[in-house]
Structure 1
Amino acid sequence: MTFTYSVTARSRANPDAVYAALVRAGTWPLWSPIDAVEVEVGDPGDPQRAGDTRVFRTGRAVSHERIVELITDRRFVYENVNGPFRFYRGSVELAQRREGGTDIVWSAQFAPKLPLSGPFWRWYLTRFMRRMVEGLASHAEHNRP
């Protein structure tokens, strides 16, 4: 069975500032609940590209994610390549607001490995990702990588 979540935020920053934070893994601990990050190749402060794998640590949890699609200033798509999911594909969609700033929609489709755990994961991920999207929106307003 497949589950989804979707969370949104508005940032006063333009899409290029939001996108710049997304593609630089090193910024993620600054604006999210993530404690630490590594990249498979390169420096976490440099922009990553499609195909790159990033390792996030939050407490004792470790998440390996591969970037699968990037559209400059518009879309960031990734897949979880380990953990409690048989399938997990997330995306961050950015839309320029007519009056300035950016609408951010962070969503995913996933299938947990453990039967009957889907509702728990949807609840948990919605809460966790709400903190992510709000932190991203705020960070982009106040910082440029």
Structure 2
Amino acid sequence: MTRVKRGSVARKRRKNILKLASGFQGAHSTIFRTGNQQIIKALASSYRDRGKRKRDFRRLWITRINAAARNNGVSYTKFIRHLYKNQVSSNRKVLAQIAIFDTNSFSTILKKLSSGESIRYRNFSPEFYSGEVRTP
């Protein structure tokens, strides 16, 4: 069997891996072995944290909705139960934005849900849907 010299292939592979590690500090960006270990660790962390980011945002939205609901005298669980009971399909991200940027509409939603009225989105204040972004 003939001898295979891997010089150019191995160099290209190492060069590509070190290119991925270009922003790392110290030897992690210049030495192949440590750079390769850090790349493997970084890719594993990014995969894990993509799921964690989704969980963290959901927790944040729930916290914001809970705070706004408690300002109106209702707990988060009762508010969500009223949403399901009245078949309102709105996600927590949108509800959290309404709770922060348009507190009057959020309190209107709470009052209508607790009284059992049907909710139509056109009854909310128009400045929330006009495209303006107001900071609290």
Q: TM-score range by the shorter chain?
A: under 0.3
TM-score by length of 1: 0.25
User: Larger C-alpha radius of gyration, 1 or 2?
Assistant: 2
TM-score by length of 2: 0.26
Greater relative contact order: 1 or 2 (C-alpha under 8 angstroms, separation 6 or more)?
1
| Greater percentage in helix | 2
